[in-house]
Amino acid sequence: MSILVVGSVALDSVRTPFGEVKEALGGSATYFSTAASFFADVRVVAVVGEDFPEEHLAFLRSRSIDLWGLKRVPGRTFRWTGEYGFDLNDARTLETQLNVFAEFHPDIPEAYRESELVFLANIDPDLQREVLAQVRSPKLVAADTMNFWIDRKPESLRETLRSVNMLLINDAEVRQLAKEPNLVRAARTILDWGPTSLVIKRGEYGALMVREGGWFAAPAIPLDSVFDPTGAGDCFAGGFIGYLANTMNFEEANVRKAIVMGSVMASFNVEAFSLDRLRRLTYPEIESRYKAFRKLAHFEDL
Amino acid sequence: MSILVVGSVALDSVRTPFGEVKEALGGSATYFSTAASFFADVRVVAVVGEDFPEEHLAFLRSRSIDLWGLKRVPGRTFRWTGEYGFDLNDARTLETQLNVFAEFHPDIPEAYRESELVFLANIDPDLQREVLAQVRSPKLVAADTMNFWIDRKPESLRETLRSVNMLLINDAEVRQLAKEPNLVRAARTILDWGPTSLVIKRGEYGALMVREGGWFAAPAIPLDSVFDPTGAGDCFAGGFIGYLANTMNFEEANVRKAIVMGSVMASFNVEAFSLDRLRRLTYPEIESRYKAFRKLAHFEDL
Residue A90: pLDDT over 80 = no
Mean pLDDT of B189-199: 97
The confidence band for A20, taking pLDDT boundaries of 50, 70 and 90, is very high
Residue A254: pLDDT over 80 = yes
pLDDT of residue B231: 96
Tens-digit pLDDT profile for residues A125-180:
999 999 999 999 999 999 999 999 999 999 999 999 999 999 999 989 999 999 99
Average predicted confidence (pLDDT) for chain A: 96
pLDDT of residue B225: 83
* Cα B178–chain centre separation: 21
Cα distance between residue A97 and residue A101, in whole Å: 9
DSSP assignments along B122-133, one per residue: SS-HHHHHHHHH
Query: Among B260, B128, B5, which residue's Cα sits nearest to residue A299?
Result: B260
Cβ-based contacts of B217 with chain A (< 8 Å):
206, 219-220, 222, 296-297
Q: pTM to 2 decimals?
A: 0.95
A270: helix, strand or coil: coil
Q: Name which of B222, B256, B257 is nearest A208 (Cβ-Cβ).
A: B222
Residue of A nearest to B247 (CA): A302
Provide long-range contacts, Cβ within 8 A and 24+ apart, for B25-30: B25/B56, B25/B59, B25/B274, B25/B275, B26/B80, B26/B230, B26/B231, B26/B274, B26/B275, B27/B78, B28/B121, B28/B122, B28/B123, B28/B144, B28/B231, B28/B234, B29/B5, B29/B121, B29/B234, B30/B56, B30/B60, B30/B231, B30/B234, B30/B275
CB distance A121 to A28 below 8 Å: yes
Q: Determine what percent of chain A is predicted with pLDDT higher than 70.
A: 100
Distant-in-sequence, close-in-space partners of B150: CB < 8 Å, separation ≥ 6: B157, B173, B176, B177
CATH number of A2-297: 3.40.1190.20
Residue A65 CB coordination number (10 Å): 22
Report the DSSP pairing between strands A10-16 and A117-120: unpaired
The confidence band for B214, taking pLDDT boundaries of 50, 70 and 90, is confident
Partner-chain contact B217 A296, CB within 8 Å: yes
CB distance B67 to B93 below 8 Å: no
Partner-chain contact B300 A253, CB within 8 Å: yes
CB distance A45 to A68 below 8 Å: no
The confidence band for B63, taking pLDDT boundaries of 50, 70 and 90, is very high
| Distance (Å) from the alpha carbon of A262 to chain B's nearest alpha carbon | 13
For the question of an ipTM over 0.95, the answer is: no
* Cα B55–chain centre separation: 23
CB distance A165 to A195 below 8 Å: yes
Mean pLDDT of B49-71: 98
Average predicted confidence (pLDDT) for chain B: 96
Say which CATH topology domain B2-164+221-297 has.
Answer: UDP-N-acetylmuramoyl-L-alanine:D-glutamate ligase (3.40.1190)
The confidence band for B167, taking pLDDT boundaries of 50, 70 and 90, is very high
Cβ-based contacts of B208 with chain A (< 8 Å):
222
pLDDT of residue B91: 82
The confidence band for A248, taking pLDDT boundaries of 50, 70 and 90, is very high
Cβ-based contacts of B295 with chain A (< 8 Å):
214
Residue B86: pLDDT over 80 = no
Residue A237: pLDDT over 90 = yes
Residue A1: pLDDT over 90 = no
Cα distance between residue B251 and residue B149, in whole Å: 31
